[in-house]
Structure 1
């Protein structure tokens, strides 16, 4: 029995150290060395204080700010500990009603806007935490934000263009706008 148990325990201890201690330390160290911003959570600092992450959306509801995608998390929006989709298909009456309500809220916030509402302003992302909107969704909100802040429309439009992230190598992915970074840049406009 001793001849079988001892090698098994030694192998268990060695593999525990390698896979449970050494490997995670090496991977964490490599991530921090090669990708320090991402490994630290992509935290955005303002005056040395964290204001959010560029990877997790935030709930903006003031007309003076750009609004992000609706969040499917509960019990509060953009709750990173409750990341999940709404799990509602396109024919689900609850989703149809929610989208109608979101469209009505957008139209009520900007009654003069007759442009079609971009789909990403009325539907949640798969994780419910998406910090990005499409450039079309940002442009849809420009007039409301400019009016609420008393800024020239052209200045806010230029800011949206400046904050638009282009696809990698012009082909990988879609153009997108990080709502938190856009709203932080908006705070500096005069």
Structure 2
């Protein structure tokens, strides 16, 4: 009787193990390799992170915000992750959290002072952190209030800087989704190129 039970269990165990192995290799490994291969084949730049190179050195990605501390550059949104992709996260503070209100009030005062505008004129995206903490875009309004400062610091006319902001303002995705936005890294690189001509 014991031998019959062991043989019965063995007959059930073998197909289960084979199915687990096929699932692991077929769906886990093969699917991942196939999807990665197709992605790299059809969209090589996007699959590798839309990396931006200058003089053979990777300086950033179109999809990841980075801090710009010099007053001659447009500033990105604040980051709860300190712009570190390995620590990507939002602040997870509730709207009712007093620490969040204090941080926003301090940020509003700092931006208003830096840009020479009234605190009420500071756009929300220069005050709040994005959900992932690495949003590379700001709103056209957030770029607009920085134009005078950037132009002054670079010795350019506000009109020249405004033209670049317009050129780097992206519309809604497929004309339907999201809001118009400006990629801060691409705009700052364009500023460097225009300034060095």
TM-score by length of 2: 0.88
**2:191 corresponding residue in structure 1:** 186
- How far residue 93 of structure 1 moved from its aligned partner, in angstroms, is 1.3
Instruction: Describe the SS at the equivalent of 1:17.
Output: helix
For 1:125 and 1:21, the matched residues in 2 are separated by: 33
Q: Deviations over 1:14-41 (max 9, x none)?
A: 2222022211111111111122122101
Q: 1:173 to 1:110 in 2, by over 3 A?
A: closer
Matched, 1:20 2:25: no
Structure index of larger Rg: 2
1:86 Cα offset (Å) = 1.0
Runs of 4+ with >3 A deviation: none
| C-alpha distance in 2 between matches for 1:183 and 1:22 | 41
- How many angstroms does 1:100 deviate by? 1.3
CA contact (8 A) 2:65 2:137 kept: yes
List runs of 5+ in structure 2 lacking aligned partners.
Answer: 1-6
Give TM-score, length-normalised by structure 1: 0.91
**Which residue in 2 is equivalent to 1:36?**
44
* Kept after mapping to 1: 8 A contact 2:115/2:145: no
CA RMSD of superposed structures (Å): 1.5
Match of 1:159 in 2: 164
Superposition deviation, residue 81 in structure 1: 1.5
Higher helix share: 2
Structure 1 spans left out of the alignment, 5+ residues: none
Alpha-carbon spacing, 1:16–1:110, altered in 2? closer, same or farther (3 Å): closer
Task: Compute the displacement of 1:99 (Å).
Answer: 1.0
